[in-house]
Chains A and B, each alone.
Chain A
């Protein structure tokens, strides 16, 4: 999968090719990551990286509406949670076949996205931030009230999903490559969406919605479709997350989680798509390193977020660009 973005550059201009270079390098490095364990990295490194890639899928989906569409959703963890809970509930009920679970996950996220999106998208700016936050909380309380499936304490899963009877998630490296392949697939899909006519309308609506709707496009419909798609991709991340932690709890949906997803996206560089992937990986590795250092790691992490917002522009991707001399 990692070679695919690079192959697609054939017949394009040099600038286009350079734009694809960084994502191609990222995926190539990720594909080689399990080798590092053979070369002496600790064995716990691969699950950590798998977790980072799962969050990269979620951050990527958020970047589609936040970065490309300019809609700051503060309730994105709800989709992650719905995906995780749908997976957890189905496994608990004895249906662990992925081909059964995934359609349910995607459908649940699509329905939730369509209903809440229709309400949220009636508002703009700060009201949108607050309403998505409120809907996120609604799902959080709903999960807490699910007493049949763990309620407040969460739901422990005693097995993982299988694909056509194969234990895809049994070994660490096959789990890793499954998630990596899904991330690559989602990345290519979102890239294609952004490059399409639909994506162009979505981007234009971020700059000037009035002008776009006067031109004859239905801005609300385009945004709603993007919102639903983004939610479905985040649901996929939730499916992997439930399988990875073998545990689902309301904490997955807390508003802090939504804030973290925004931070991952911004950390990498908003709107560039591969920035979200870099941001998620950097965030999870930093979180892991700091939490080994002290239990009060948030005291270090919080100010870092503040300083990052005050003093950097364009995230990690922006810094790489400036370092490379390209603007």
Chain B
């Protein structure tokens, strides 16, 4: 393994981590503030990608398509909130899991009916279609750099909103004791809607940004949802800082594991068995990581303050 390859894989890992953070942030916020477990969050990521496909090809401009896709994803999320989620906030987790599971079945199939089962793609915007030279002979696509940058910018914005604004203060207060916030005269239903809209936007943004580099297909949200679960469990449920750290760890461990596990195992065993073991081990690596973290710290790496 060369330094160049390692560098490229670290960047890939960062990029996966950033995407995971955008999805996990919404999930952990919604759970932290509303005590609501939303399996349909992954579907909102998928929807962001599909809407980007449609709007980018309609308008012919990536930026305009992105904005329209975000707006549409937001509207759709709010409709779902109004029709379904609102009635689930004071139910137990089992009901929430089941109802949002039903939504996943509906939306995955619905997407298949509207856009077809074949994978779609979004062209990379002209401006960002080039490559950046990292080292001699090693190029890295500009768009992926832009993706990492945009993700970090959103993470920074999120940090500012949560830590430095009044809404953020209410969010943090709601995450540690929602009934008390409500008793102090804050319209908790409105706060819930704001949080939810915010989470939906983040997931939709992640989906739309990922659309040019991943294939857009039904079920793409399910994989991301489960990875996001791993992230928020490792980071500590309800904690945005935890989600950020854990997302980067998961992104890096998964990517580096997949690229270098074979080579690593070659030191111990023959090539064919290294390949077979490597494939199994690298896809299980993050789940093993999660098990170890939980065994040592059941509340996650950076638990949210004020939650027991």
Contact = CB atoms under 8 A, between A and B. Distances in A.
B97 interface: yes
A145 B279 contact: yes
A266 B98 contact: yes
Contact of B102 (A66, A126, A145, A305): A305
A142 interface: yes
Contacts of B222: 255-256
A141 B290 contact: no
Given A298-B108, A306-B102, A145 B93 contact: no
A119 interface: yes
Contacts of B267: none
A299 B94 CA distance: 22
A130 interface: yes
B295 A129 contact: no
Contacts of B108: 298
Interface residues of A, number: 44
B93 A127 contact: no
B99 A141 contact: no
Contacts of A178: none
B256 interface: no
B284 A309 contact: no
Interface in B111-156: 112-113
A129 B226 contact: no
Given A302-B103, A310-B87, A141 B97 contact: no
Interface residues of B, number: 43
Nearest to B92: A72
Contacts of A145: 276, 279-280, 283
A141 B230 contact: no
Given A129-B37, A133-B226, A301 B105 contact: yes
B105 A119 contact: no
Contacts of A40: none
Contact of A305 (B101, B237, B283): B101
Given A131-B294, A262-B97, A266-B94, A255 B226 contact: yes
Dominant SS at the B interface?
A: helix
A309 B105 contact: no
Nearest to A313: B95
A118 to B, nearest CB: 8
A147 B103 contact: no
A302 B283 contact: no
Contact of A134 (B91, B97, B233, B279): B233
A173 interface: no
A127 B32 CA distance: 12
Nearest to B290: A134
A263 interface: yes
Nearest to A266: B98
B94 A302 contact: no
Contacts of A174: none
A85 to B, nearest CB: 13
A306 B294 contact: no
A126 B232 CA distance: 11
A125 B109 contact: no
Interface in B275-296: 276, 279-280, 283-284, 287-288, 290-291, 294-295
Nearest to A307: B102
| B91, B108, B287 interface centre (most CB from chain A within 10 Å) | B287
B93 A72 contact: yes
Contact of B283 (A66, A131, A144): A144
A299 B110 contact: yes
Contacts of A304: 102
B226 A134 contact: yes
Given A119-B294, A134-B230, A147-B276, A141 B106 contact: no
A3 B68 CA distance: 64
Contacts of A142: 280, 283-284
Contact of A126 (B237, B288, B294, B295): B237
Nearest to B286: A134
Given A134-B287, A255-B222, A302-B102, A126 B93 contact: yes
B287 A137 contact: yes
Contact of A262 (B94, B276, B284): B94
B280 A130 contact: no
A256 B104 CA distance: 9
| A74, A145, A148 interface centre (most CB from chain B within 10 Å) | A145
Interface of B: 31, 37, 84, 87-88, 91, 93-95, 97-99, 101-110, 112-113, 222, 226, 229-230, 232-233, 237, 276, 279-280, 283-284, 287-288, 290-291, 294-295, 298
Sorted from nearest, which 9 A-B pairs have the closest CB atoms?
A: A302-B106, A305-B102, A145-B280, A302-B105, A141-B283, A298-B109, A138-B287, A306-B102, A309-B99
Interface of A: 66, 72, 74, 116, 119, 122-123, 125-127, 129-131, 133-135, 137-138, 141-142, 144-148, 255-256, 259, 262-263, 266, 270, 296, 298-299, 301-306, 308-310
23 contacts: A66-B94, A72-B97, A122-B295, A126-B31, A126-B37, A129-B37, A129-B97, A131-B294, A138-B284, A141-B280, A142-B283, A146-B280, A255-B226, A262-B101, A263-B101, A298-B105, A299-B110, A302-B104, A302-B106, A303-B102, A303-B106, A305-B102, A310-B99
